[in-house]
Amino acid sequence: MKTSILMLTLSALSVGFSAAAEPIKIIQPAKITEPDKVELGKMLYFEPRLSKSGFISCNSCHNLSLGGVDAIPTSIGDRWQQGPINAPTVLNADFMLAQFWDGRAKDLQEQAGGPIANPKEMGFTHELAVKTVASMPAYREKFAKVYGSDVVDIDKITDAIAAFEKTLVTPNSPFDQYLAGDEQAISADAKAGYDLFKGHGCVACHNGPAVGGTAYMKMGLVKPFHTDNPAEGRKAVTGKDSDNMVFKVPTLRNIELTYPYFHDGSVWTLAEAVNTMSDVQTGQQLTAEETTQMVAFLRSLTGDQPQVVLPVLPPSNEVTPRPQPFTN
């Protein structure tokens, strides 16, 4: 392993390319140090009984078969309520400086508690979520093993979910292989697209291992971004007018999978997304060839998707709160 990294480094140096100097960094696979907690978190991530209806789990809107998103403009919540904003991907989400488009949750654990209790999402309460999980002996045994006590609380539930989510990293994309020194890993178009991506200033926001997620930025920086979506972005958190339409910069990792694009989910193709962003954020128009190259670069950011064995969940029993799918 050490030898092969050394060889790749030497190979990269030999073509005058230093990964260390690039604004986009190789993304490293997650190191799993607490496998029992991760396994418990996976169960809870797929647990539809954390919702009022018994039908919606974390995976419903952050579907690990679909790049960690639901691939619709805004999500479907309890009783088919329409969500206010496009569901961001859970993949590589731990690399974000904060969670949600407006960064209102400081980390994955804080995020995980939000949808459970949001009346428009899972529609449940933390109290009922805890009661549900605690009702099942198989869960209590796992909590005891992981936390040293079988007392279930919402902090443990969200901590375990976050531990699972931290493992959802997608390394080894063609672009990472290229950064590691494999010149053949991406096409000439993708290389030209990467040069454009840097040259046009996209890397000012989309940088680091997640190619984003390290800053907040105004959507419509040089020209207004037109949308019907009423989301105010950071303003909703800080109360400052200057934060209106300022959102967390999304990751571009696996962007080919996480359509439709933008916080309003209004754009379905990478070509249109690239052209819109170039226009409203940098004021530059791309030629058709440049768009093709930029899209080729973005497609090279699709990494190895997590291999997830579907958890088998313990059965409800007499004391488990019953789902209420059709009652108000």
Binder of a second copy out of 8, 71, 128, 192 (CB under 8 A) = 71
**Should residue 307 be labelled a site residue for a second copy when binding is judged by CB under 8 A?**
yes
**Should residue 285 be labelled a site residue for a second copy when binding is judged by CB under 8 A?**
no
**Should residue 318 be labelled a site residue for a second copy when binding is judged by CB under 8 A?**
yes
Nearer to a second copy, 98 or 116 (CB): 116
Q: Which of 39, 121, 165, 290 is catalytic?
A: 121
Nearer to a second copy, 220 or 325 (CB): 325
Nearer to a second copy, 78 or 159 (CB): 78
Identify the bridge partners of residue 76 per DSSP, sorted by sequence position: 82
Nearer to a second copy, 195 or 304 (CB): 304
Cα distances from 264 to residues 85, 130, 290, in angstroms, run: 6, 32, 25
Binder of a second copy out of 58, 64, 108, 168 (CB under 8 A) = 64
Tokens standing for 8?
A: 């790749």
For residue 24, which phi and psi values (nearest 5 degrees)?
Answer: -100, 130
Number of residues that bind a second copy (CB under 8 A): 42
* DSSP assignment string, 96-123: SSSBSTT--BSSHHHHHHHHHH-TTTT-
**Should residue 82 be labelled a site residue for a second copy when binding is judged by CB under 8 A?**
yes
**Should residue 128 be labelled a site residue for a second copy when binding is judged by CB under 8 A?**
no
Q: Which residues contact 185 (CB under 8 A, 6 or more apart)?
A: 174, 175, 177, 178, 300
Distance, CA of 300 to CA of 296 (rounded, Å): 6
Of 309, 306, 27, nearest in space to 167 by CA: 306
The reply to whether 121 belongs to the active site is yes
139 CA to centre of own chain? 27
Distance, CA of 79 to CA of 328 (rounded, Å): 9
Nearer to a second copy, 207 or 258 (CB): 258
Cα distances from 63 to residues 27, 59, 152, 305, in angstroms, run: 21, 5, 26, 12
For residue 260, which phi and psi values (nearest 5 degrees)?
Answer: -75, 160
* DSSP assignment string, 54-67: S---HHHHSBTTTT
- Positive or negative torsion for Cα 135, 136, 137, 140: negative
Residues 104, 98: contact at Cβ < 8 Å?
A: yes
Binder of a second copy out of 38, 116, 186, 257 (CB under 8 A) = 257
Binder of a second copy out of 11, 63, 125, 167 (CB under 8 A) = 63
Binder of a second copy out of 97, 203, 221, 313 (CB under 8 A) = 313
Nearer to a second copy, 216 or 297 (CB): 297
**Should residue 76 be labelled a site residue for a second copy when binding is judged by CB under 8 A?**
yes
Binder of a second copy out of 8, 19, 66, 154 (CB under 8 A) = 66
* Region from 50-58, 141-149, 153-161, 274-282 binding a second copy, contact rule CB under 8 A: 50-58
**Should residue 241 be labelled a site residue for a second copy when binding is judged by CB under 8 A?**
no
Active site residues: 121
Binding site for a second copy (CB under 8 A): 46-49, 53-55, 60, 63-67, 70-73, 76, 79-80, 82, 256-257, 259, 268-269, 305, 307-313, 315-318, 322-323, 325-326
